Amino acid sequence: MSEKPRTVSGMRPTGPLHLGHYFGVLRNWIDLQEREQAFFFVADWHALTSDYADPSGIRHNIGEMVRDWVGAGLDPQKCVIFRQSDVKEHAELSLLLSMITPVSWLERNPTYKEQQQQISNKDLGNAGFLCYPVLMAADILMYRPHGVPVGEDQLPHMELTREIARRFNYLYGDLFPEPQAMLTPAAKCPGLDGRKMSKSYGNGIFLSESVDAIRDKVRGMFTDKARLRKSDPGDPDVCNLFPYHVLLSSPEEQAEIRRGCTSASLGCVDCKKLFLKNLTAFLEPLHERRGRLDDAAVAEILAAGGEKARDFARATMAAAREKMGL
């Protein structure tokens, strides 16, 4: 295996990926694959922790997610792309780590408490949901990485992973490094209606959507609510559209938009046209790469990645069993 530093991350296959996923996660992964030995997995077992009652969409979402990943720029020749459930060692390590993880550590997990309160249309009283941080720790520690790319909302999970690693090493001897959080720079991607971009809200721009479909969405996109007419000066800092210019437009274009908006010489319709031009330029190569992947190609990527991940996982589990006297 490569002597590069290792990193690992995953994503649940719960639906189509949107621009927020690209700028918040995938852009960082694409950079990491160039300089690290990177393992990226489709977390289908994690999807079951909340979608166990109706798992009918998971298999389809797995294929679509891999297409989105490769379309966005992940290269199976540069990183390991695999499906979590194809590497059974993840389940074994999760079981072994659960033996040494106090229940109180899981119950104090802030995400567990928040989602129990916020998600009212699903019963999250199952043991799998309570214990998913242990499975997450197993997913990470299996590859003994130096760091994990995460957003700030995942910091409690990273701390729990380090606590579990410390407890294992204390009880049985050193095996697992304590991986550090590699904070992903925040990218503001509001939904078309000003709320958080989400599949459930139907307010997203999805990576798999055609430009024609996106064009219709952008035409109705919220901008500056206080700007009722083109002759009214606008404020890019409160506009729902301007954050996308920050991500997709050149610095020169951004400066021109700011001047035109604040002086009322540039209307929202023209601003949207410029956004669509730059968004189309961004999406066209993504759609081209994505379109090359049929079901057989996706299966081949997952099979090859799964074998590479299993090779590493077998070595980790052999060492873990030895440490635990099994």
Structure-block tokens of residue 170: 């204390």
Q: Are 136 and 163 in contact (CB under 8 A)?
A: no
Angle between helix 295-324 and 58-72 (nearest 10): 100
Separation of alpha carbons 89 and 312, rounded Å:
10
What does the pLDDT read at residue 268?
92
Say which residue, 114 or 63, is predicted with more confidence.
63
Residues 181 and 150: their CA atoms lie apart, in Å, by 6
CA-based diameter of the chain, in Å? Answer: 76
Question: What is the rounded average pLDDT of the residues 132-144?
Answer: 96
Starting at the earlier edge strand, list the strands of the sheet with 80-83: 80-83, 37-42, 6-11, 147-150, 180-183
Q: For 258-308, what is each residue's pLDDT tens digit?
A: 999 999 999 999 999 999 999 999 999 999 999 999 999 999 999 999 999
Q: What percent of the chain has pLDDT over 70?
A: 95
DSSP secondary structure string for all residues of 154-172? GHHHHHHHHHHHHHHHHHH
Residue 7 host element (H or E): strand 6-11
Q: Write the class of the CATH domain 211-288.
A: mainly alpha
Report the C-alpha gap between 271 and 234 in whole angstroms. 12
What's this model's pTM, rounded to 2 decimal places?
0.92
Q: Please name which of 6, 250, 49, 255 lies closest in space to residue 135, comparing C-alpha atoms.
A: 49
Domain chopping of the chain, boundaries: 6-188+294-324, 211-288
Q: What is the pLDDT of residue 115?
A: 65
Would 6-188+294-324 and 211-288 be classified into the same CATH topology?
no
Topology (CATH level 3) of domain 6-188+294-324: Rossmann fold (3.40.50)
Least confident among 43-47, 142-146, 185-189, 240-244: 185-189
Residues 171-192, buried b or exposed e (16+ Cβ, 10 A)? ebeebbeebebbebeebebbbb
d(CA 279, CA 273): 10
The predicted pLDDT at position 1 comes to 46
